[in-house]
Structure 1
């Protein structure tokens, strides 16, 4: 428990002060975010806001994870691989953000190149985690044996790659309003802190000794997002950019894979799922219905903006939804835990 609290506190403090230093550094060099021309008109005023704030989140979380070892516990191979994957995803995002800034247009890596980069990251994770750890290759909801359908190494690899690609893109789509992605991610990482703590305390049920280390990563990412949100809350003084959104997406996906909660992840990250579905539905209906749209603009947070909701209202209401998803996910996880024979005896 002490290591979890230490990781969150250290990461939050480092992110809080590190983000402020990053803002000053970027402003002094005139490095700011170009705004997409086809977005809501009210966003034009945000042009030039410093970006790449995800560097502070990932850097603070990484240091929080490392320093927390002084408070007990040990690093695990699974934890090291997950932190490496988060860092590699952040690197892909950093390249994308850098191209946007230096080209002075909201055009970074093209979609194909970005997907190839994320695919490489996902493959690296899969190869390392299968070769270096005892990860269960089952289809899982709350633990490796629930429902416990064995996918085999090939099937699990395909699922893991798709999950990483889907989750990184889902968080990236959600990162369109000040503080929306960071605030929502805090709830999701909180869910993983609870899941990992229970898994650590009941290794005989969850079947692995790495849960404490993964819980520390979750706590560190939570702390990093909290510290960053201080500066990213509306009106944002800095954006996380793809550096942050891709790293957060990779963290959520790999934590789900590492804790055998793949089927629970859509509940944990319910807001990110809804945001992605809104884009899929918008594109699908536009093509199938001859140019008709079901939303004023996608992702859905822009639809609410164009419907007349103030930006802060959209953000807070979607945070509420994200919090409800977290509560439901923890409830489902705990209900399954109580259903294990012998737990209540």
Structure 2
């Protein structure tokens, strides 16, 4: 069983490699003119390179190689098909995103890339085969349904991360917090014998945390470089692989924990509350807005509403980072304390209610001006 030091080494190497590679990616982007120029839909004021994805991929590969070399994760690498499949899916997603960063591609092409990445995960065994329905029962999915569920989960997370990548450092910080939480959660389940040593979930999560931590100094406001679709889509598929590995591949009961909190989809939904809630609200909002479609850009994302309340760029990012950390803490509390299962759902509901009340558009007094600059909306244009 890998120790804390092993996780720190792997995450540290991924962070350092990403940190070193990012300026090189920025120079390459500047050389080839891969720049995001400010326009009426962006919040940045200066032309900024958007080729952070390859640097993050380099950090992922460096961290993975380190995990293989040090030997502490030998059980994970004993079945190389899984970890290699995850890396292949990440490469596919990064490539699709980088192509879109260089020359925008159609939404069906993007979705096709997500489907391919999700299919790769399913083929190598990283798939959602166990679904726990809260207060009902455990459902074992057939191979066909497991593959479909895995692909849908990849599409949801890839779009969720892409959608919140609208402010400097926002998506990077949220994913770093969420993945770090998931490492801690997965280690706890491993210690309790719920997860086998061969499970790659915790390794993938620490790699995600490492590359985000290494990228954040370059991406924090004012950003020197953006992760682009290459980075955002890759993070989405990696998060999907990690969460499915931890929550969707065992039907073992976890003593002392609420049935609700062991549901394989509800755990990552809570931990990844900000991006997932944002993408779901965006879809619902656009469906019920006359004359709009789910691909129509708007100014009602969580970070837009916080900006309209008068918060500055850094403060908005900090608020959403804090929310992510709070939701993550709600998950870890019953996992480590063995109590509080009944209080935690109410706490999460309370936080969501307060945020909904504060950010509801009808309660906002600062209406957006006609020419207000807003963040780019990356939801695929279907």
TM-score, length-scaled by structure 1: 0.82
Tell me whether 1:227 sits opposite 2:214 in the alignment. yes
**Does the 8 A contact of 1:185 with 1:225 survive in 2?**
yes
Root mean square deviation of aligned Cα: 2.7
Distance 2:192 2:169 in 1: 35
**Does the 8 A contact of 2:133 with 2:139 survive in 1?**
no
Tell me whether 1:92 sits opposite 2:96 in the alignment. yes
Distance 1:287 1:197 in 2: 47
Distance 1:153 1:333, change over 3 A: farther
**Does the 8 A contact of 1:58 with 1:221 survive in 2?**
no
Secondary structure at 1:185's aligned position in 2?
helix
Residue number in structure 2 paired with 1:287: 290
Tell me whether 1:330 sits opposite 2:317 in the alignment. no
**Does the 8 A contact of 1:279 with 1:300 survive in 2?**
no
Secondary structure at 1:129's aligned position in 2?
coil
Greater RCO (CA < 8 Å, at least 6 residues apart): 1
Distance 1:316 1:242, change over 3 A: same
Residue number in structure 2 paired with 1:124: 120
Matches within 5 A, 1:157-196: 157-196=147-186
Matches within 5 A, 1:1-345: 1=3, 2-35=5-38, 37=40, 39=41, 42-43=43-44, 45-46=45-46, 48-72=47-71, 73-74=73-74, 75=77, 76=79, 77-99=81-103, 108-129=104-125, 137-140=129-132, 148-203=138-193, 205-206=194-195, 208-211=196-199, 213-260=200-247, 261-287=264-290, 297-334=299-336
Secondary structure at 1:239's aligned position in 2?
coil
Deviation by residue 1:15-74 (Cα, 9 ceiling, x = unmatched): 11111222233234433124564x25x44x24x201120211121022112112222221
Which has the larger helix fraction? 1
Distance 1:175 1:296, change over 3 A: closer
**Does the 8 A contact of 1:93 with 1:242 survive in 2?**
yes
**Does the 8 A contact of 1:141 with 1:262 survive in 2?**
no
Secondary structure at 1:259's aligned position in 2?
helix
Unpaired stretches in structure 1, ≥5 consecutive residues = 100-107, 340-345
**Does the 8 A contact of 1:53 with 1:239 survive in 2?**
yes
Distance 1:199 1:36, change over 3 A: farther
Distance 1:335 1:85 in 2: 36
TM-score, length-scaled by structure 2: 0.75
Give the CA deviation at 1:115. 1.0
Distance 1:160 1:183 in 2: 25
Give the CA deviation at 1:169. 0.4
